[in-house]
Amino acid sequence: MFEHMNNIPLLDHDSKIPLHQQAEDQLRKLISDNHFRVGDAFPKETDLAKRWGISRNTLRQAISNLVRDGLLERKKRSGTTVRKKKITTDLANWLSFSHEMEDKGTPFKDIKHAVDLMKADKETEERLGIPHGTKVVSLERIRSTGRNPMVYFRSYFHPRVGLTGSENFKKPLYELLDEEFHVVPVYSQEEIRAIAATEKIAAWLKIEPGAPVLERKRLVLDAGRKPIEFNICYYRSDAFTYSIEIKRPI
């Protein structure tokens, strides 16, 4: 049980940021900083609303977003509790590659790992919404779950995140962003298509040029839908299947 209500920062009622958004951001940070731990009972809504000088409806709007994103869980008898963190989209759960492989019990290794500070290309500028000529930290990796490469990744990070390129990228990426920069990836906008491998992609993945590969472009956003990362991946089609479950409205 979190007992120290006085340690919870106040909201800024003079700010242009809506109070429900301030409340949501504040709660995300408290969970991220382990002020609220997994399994902890959440403070009473009446106490928290009183502390922040907001209505319970405003607070419930913030809490509902955290429930939706898997950070909190509501139960009739036990109330609201902190859940193990999950990163989700509107369609399905999504994780960093490291956590995805851990969930499947599949060991993997890095074949290539390179970090660079470079000028963003036109597509990256457009995706991240940054000015022409802006330099971004780029993370390039080739990973394998066996003898042969399975996937090639290239990530470009918005300068706002604060990465310098000297970070320990051996850690799961989204865990690193959360713990060290207090940036919580919440939304993922993805484009997936099958393409024929170029000579460069074929060399990365040790396949024949023209062989089918799965190209995935992912734009990662925070709770306020501000871009964090633009990521391009190429998967060997003989080593990876991308699946998703969608419920049809009844």
Question: Mean pLDDT, to the nearest integer, of 164-176?
Answer: 89
User: Has this prediction a pTM greater than 0.85?
Assistant: no
pLDDT digits (tens, 9 = 90+) for 20-33: 999 998 888 888 77
Q: What is the CATH number of domain 5-82?
A: 1.10.10.10
The DSSP call for residue 122 is H
* Single-letter amino acid, residue 147: R
Q: Give the integer Cα–Cα distance in Å for 149 and 151.
A: 6
Domains 5-82 and 97-236 share a fold: no
User: What is the third-level CATH fold of 97-236?
Assistant: Chorismate lyase (3.40.1410)
pLDDT digits (tens, 9 = 90+) for 34-51: 787 777 777 888 889 999
Return the pLDDT at 96: 53
Domain ranges of the chain: 5-82, 97-236
Cα–Cα distance list, 239 to 80, 105, 155, 224 (Å): 41, 16, 21, 35
Q: Give the integer Cα–Cα distance in Å for 54 and 8.
A: 14
CA angle, 167 then 109 then 119, to 5°: 40
